[in-house]
Amino acid sequence: MMYFLSSKYMLLSIIFFFLTGSCSNDDIKVLDKTELENLYMEIQEMADSQVCDNSSLWRFTAFGAKPCGGPNSYISYSTKIDTTLFLAKVEEYNKGMAEFNVRNGLVSDCAMVAKPTGIMCDKNKPVFLYSNSSKY
């Protein structure tokens, strides 16, 4: 009899845990496809808003999310823009893409995207540089 009661309370505790745990997710905004596309366009517009005439004023960050993990690509941006806002939008987009991938059961090739080692300016556009040497 005592075992039955403790099992019953254990089951109720587990159910309560899952019910209350799911309530905390109400604060997380899940982006739909249209919202992700709009956010992508905003980010791209900010990134393209400056001319690349001095590569020392340019940075890059991971952009997007592959279903297997890791970024889809990297995006360059000028330090002349509102970098705090830009990086916050990129973070929101990356998290939104990761959630979208999970929610829709998407898959990808799982290939890792090469991380740039720097940026140079070519014809007023930022171009990623990649190291030729690999260290293991």
Q: For the chain, how many structural domains are there in total?
A: 1
pLDDT above 70 (res 131)? yes
Angle between helix 33-47 and helix 83-103 axes, rounded to 10 deg: 150
Q: Categorize the per-residue pLDDT at 10 as very low, low, confident or very high, splitting at 50, 70 and 90.
A: very low
Asked if 77 contacts 116 with a C-beta cutoff of 8 angstroms, the reply is no
The verdict on residue 61 lying in a domain is yes
The verdict on residue 99 lying in a domain is yes
The verdict on residue 20 lying in a domain is no
HSE-CB for 71 with a 13 A CA cutoff = 16
The verdict on residue 14 lying in a domain is no
Q: Categorize the per-residue pLDDT at 17 as very low, low, confident or very high, splitting at 50, 70 and 90.
A: very low
The verdict on residue 15 lying in a domain is no
Tokens of 76: 């360059």
Look at residue 29 in the predicted model and tell me its pLDDT: 58
* Domain housing 58: 31-129
Confidence (pTM) = 0.74
Asked if 90 contacts 65 with a C-beta cutoff of 8 angstroms, the reply is no
Look at residue 8 in the predicted model and tell me its pLDDT: 43
**CB count, 10 Å around CB of 90?**
22
The verdict on residue 12 lying in a domain is no
What's the whole-number average pLDDT of the chain? 82
The verdict on residue 68 lying in a domain is yes
The verdict on residue 52 lying in a domain is yes
Where is average pLDDT lowest: 15-19, 46-50, 74-78, 104-108? 15-19
pLDDT tens-place string over residues 62-80: 999 999 999 999 999 999 9
Q: Categorize the per-residue pLDDT at 37 as very low, low, confident or very high, splitting at 50, 70 and 90.
A: very high
